[in-house]
Amino acid sequence: MKGVILAGGAGTRLAPLTRITNKHLLPLYDRPMVTYAVEALTRAGIQELMLVTGGTHAGEFFRLLGNGHDYGIDRLFYAYQDGPGGIAEALGLAERFVAREKCCVLLADNVFQRTLRPIVERFEAQERGARIVLSQLDDEQHLRHLGVAAMQDGRVTGIVEKPETPPSRLAVTGVYFYDEQVWDVLPRLQRSARGELEITDVNNWYIERGQMEADVLEGFWGDAGESIEQYYEVNDFVRRHRVNA
């Protein structure tokens, strides 16, 4: 399985911190944010990675990560996203790298307390389709700013973005698993009202065909790029606790 780390975006929700750098290069406790994403995948057993980024600070990722060997990566590739086009568009840049193998896609501002290895192993054993990772959140106001899974009989029946009335307490985290079908889905997507190709449309495509599995996380999950408040909440958690353990 190959891994794709998405580290693009304008980072407007973390302004003014992001006026001088990419948000994924901001520090979380004692090291740059993106290194936690790298660690999450390598500790899960994925050693071939592509990092997709953009903007004026793209070269800083190469300065930080180099060939990846110091971070446990066997082979590290880079791709450049020319302008804000959405998560699904960024994923499309990794098509040749993934070469129709199974892949794990991780947003670089997501931090997990527990290792992703058991989920990776379950997806490797999964015959077909996709897999998403959910986190139980009790704060309804927070859920209104996220993608939320609608559930029936333990299965995901749909994903609703930023729902006024959340259909469950299960937020969709920023880690996704896809089989080779994803490369046929991406070219068919229509841009959303904000002009982007949405990863939720990809996930709902799999859900509509009954090919989506889901895991509910144990332990902490945080999106450090969601807001200034979330950035500091994740920072405080990382400072006090181990992550990717």
Q: What is the pLDDT of residues 163-186, one digit of tens each?
A: 999 999 999 999 999 999 999 999
In a domain, 245, yes or no: no
77/67 Cα distance (integer angstroms): 8
Say which CATH number the domain at 80 has.
Answer: 3.90.550.10
Backbone phi, psi, residue 203, to 5°: -65, -40
For residue 156, give every residue at least 6 positions away whose Cβ sits within 8 Å of its Cβ, in sequence order, or none: 132, 134, 149, 150, 207, 212, 214
Are 200 and 159 within 8 A, CB to CB?
yes
In a domain, 105, yes or no: yes
Q: pTM value?
A: 0.96
Overall number of domains in the chain: 1
Domain span at 186? 2-240
List the one residue out of 101, 114, 79 whose CA is nearest residue 178.
Answer: 101
Average pLDDT score over residue span 145-157: 95
Q: What is the pLDDT of residues 96-126, one digit of tens each?
A: 999 999 999 999 999 999 999 999 999 999 9
List the one residue out of 183, 41, 197 whose CA is nearest residue 105.
Answer: 41
Cα–Cα distances (Å) from 37 to 24, 105, 159, 160, 171, in that order, read 10, 10, 24, 25, 19
pLDDT at residue 12 greater than cutoff 80: yes
Are 102 and 218 within 8 A, CB to CB?
no
In a domain, 68, yes or no: yes
148/159 Cα distance (integer angstroms): 6
Average pLDDT score over residue span 191-197: 89
CA atoms within 13 A on the CB side of 156: 29
Helix (H) and strand (E) counts in the chain: 9, 13
Query: Would you state the structure tokens that stand for residue 199, as one six-digit string?
Result: 């990863």
Average pLDDT score over residue span 143-157: 95
